[in-house]
């Protein structure tokens, strides 16, 4: 059986993340600031370019190894949400970009010269019903003219390039509703403040995310990725990697919550005994640990299939569901174990609690995963 310990890899990531202590995360959370120093340190150490092939300056890690990087960040008390886009958004260029796009972008992303960690798919009126999105890209000679609106476009203010999904053929004119959408590279340094207006959304977690309004944005044809009309397929191709990496973050969170709960349960003495001696306190922590470990096994299985180039849609989805549920359960248990102190910001628990709650909704909500499993794995009727 393969070992998933990766002691050297874990130690390498820990050397960077351990420089960012609890105080650092509390300060950026309170200021709702982007953890710039943290993201720069990870980039400079090469951890965020893990999935870029070596020929383009990346370290060519497997997804299994990349998942360990994400796990360790969250396990150390950090929040990968600020940087995970840098790890996987460029995957669309690696898999479907032209040689020119790869040569131009990938080495600069790998070196940290530019960031491409933003992806604009979700729209305010259509939500999870992606094929009905209303942003249009109309071809005019050697350019596309884009108009529309996106929401929850994360890390845009800290990116140089963004992936944008827009409709190039009206829905009424395509045979399958998944056709007629195209994906584009947007140079944000040129567009923001001119044809893209950004409205930041203050939200429950310290997550830089925005509503954007696109008004006659001109994109050169050479910035389209792959064929016109096949953009949704290209985006979906990247989602298995995204789901597995997010699962790994949840597993990191889950371990962090269990470690904190276990330690506190042994130290906190009430009624003349450590609270962890009470089974009412101990068993929920034990159960949370079991669930995190089980989710991790599904993560390894999904990674193994992905790295072998085999279909892994159901395993990627199942690992995301199990891991998000396990980390959320562990968060609740950890908070409960700490009693009132769990609510104090200095313990970090309320922050991590908010951060891990997000994964029940984004980047894909639990119901959408269950409907995928119901329909595509179990063969039950399509529900939407």
Ligand X SMILES: Cc1cc2nc3c(=O)[nH]c(=O)nc-3n(C[C@H](O)[C@H](O)[C@H](O)COP(=O)(O)OP(=O)(O)OC[C@H]3O[C@@H](n4cnc5c(N)ncnc54)[C@H](O)[C@@H]3O)c2cc1C
Applying CB under 6 A, which residues contact ligand X? 119-122, 127-128, 152-154, 203, 207, 209, 358, 361-365, 367-368, 371, 383-384
Closer to ligand X at the Cβ: 191 or 358?
A: 358
CB 208 within 8 A of CB 154: yes
Cβ at position 129, least distance to ligand X in Å: 7
Closer to ligand X at the Cβ: 68 or 181?
A: 181
Cβ at position 368, least distance to ligand X in Å: 5
Whether omega before 363 lies within 30 degrees of 0, making that bond cis, reads yes
CB 280 within 8 A of CB 271: no
Closer to ligand X at the Cβ: 191 or 364?
A: 364
CB 204 within 8 A of CB 253: no
Cβ at position 188, least distance to ligand X in Å: 13
Residue nearest to ligand X (CB): 127
Closer to ligand X at the Cβ: 9 or 123?
A: 123
Cβ at position 162, least distance to ligand X in Å: 9
Residue 159 zone, left/alpha/beta (φ > 0; ψ -120 to 50; rest): beta
Closer to ligand X at the Cβ: 43 or 153?
A: 153
How many angstroms separate the CA atoms of 106 and 103, rounded? 6
Location of structure tokens 């790869």: 102
Report in angstroms the alpha-carbon separations of 378 from 171, 370, 375.
29, 10, 6
Cβ at position 82, least distance to ligand X in Å: 11
Closer to ligand X at the Cβ: 45 or 362?
A: 362
Cβ at position 340, least distance to ligand X in Å: 28
Give start and end residues of each alpha helix (H) in the chain. Answer: 7-17, 22-31, 36-44, 63-75, 84-88, 91-96, 99-111, 188-191, 231-267, 279-307, 313-337, 349-357, 366-372
């Amino acid at each position: 059986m393969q070992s998933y310990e990766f002691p050297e890899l874990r130690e390498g990531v820990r050397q960077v993340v351990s420089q960012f202590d609890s105080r650092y995360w509390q300060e950026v959370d309170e200021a709702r600031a982007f953890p710039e120093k943290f993201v720069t340190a990870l980039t400079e150490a090469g951890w965020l370019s893990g999935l870029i092939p070596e020929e383009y300056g990346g370290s060519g890690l497997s997804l299994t190894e990349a998942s360990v990087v994400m796990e360790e960040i969250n396990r150390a008390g950090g929040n990968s949400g600020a940087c995970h886009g840098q790890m996987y958004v460029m995957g669309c260029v690696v898999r479907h970009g032209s040689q020119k796009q790869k040569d131009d972008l990938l080495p600069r992303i790998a070196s940290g010269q530019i960031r491409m960690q933003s992806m604009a798919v979700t729209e305010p009126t259509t939500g999870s019903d992606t094929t009905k999105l209303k942003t249009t890209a109309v071809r005019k000679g050697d350019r596309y003219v884009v108009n529309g609106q996106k929401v929850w476009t994360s890390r845009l203010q800290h990116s140089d390039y963004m992936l944008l999904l827009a409709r190039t053929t009206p829905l009424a004119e395509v045979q399958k509703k998944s056709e007629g959408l195209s994906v584009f590279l947007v140079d944000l340094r040129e567009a923001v403040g001119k044809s893209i207006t950004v409205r930041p959304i203050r939200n429950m977690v310290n997550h830089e995310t925005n509503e954007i309004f696109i008004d006659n944005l001109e994109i050169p044809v050479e910035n389209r990725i792959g064929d016109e009309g096949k953009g949704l397929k290209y985006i979906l191709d990247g989602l298995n990697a995204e789901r597995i990496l997010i699962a790994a973050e949840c597993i990191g969170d889950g371990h962090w919550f269990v470690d904190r709960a276990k330690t506190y349960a042994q130290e906190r003495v009430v009624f003349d005994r450590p609270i962890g001696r009470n089974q009412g306190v101990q068993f929920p922590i034990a159960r949370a640990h079991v669930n995190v470990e089980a989710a991790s096994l599904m993560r390894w299985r999904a990674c193994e299939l992905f790295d072998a180039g085999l279909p892994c849609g159901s395993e990627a989805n199942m690992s995301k569901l199990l891991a998000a549920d396990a980390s959320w359960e562990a968060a609740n248990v950890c908070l409960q174990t700490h009693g009132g102190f769990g609510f104090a910001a200095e313990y970090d628990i309320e922050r991590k609690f908010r951060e891990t709650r997000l994964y029940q909704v984004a980047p894909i909500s639990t119901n959408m995963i269950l409907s995928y499993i119901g329909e595509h794995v179990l063969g039950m009727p399509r529900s939407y």
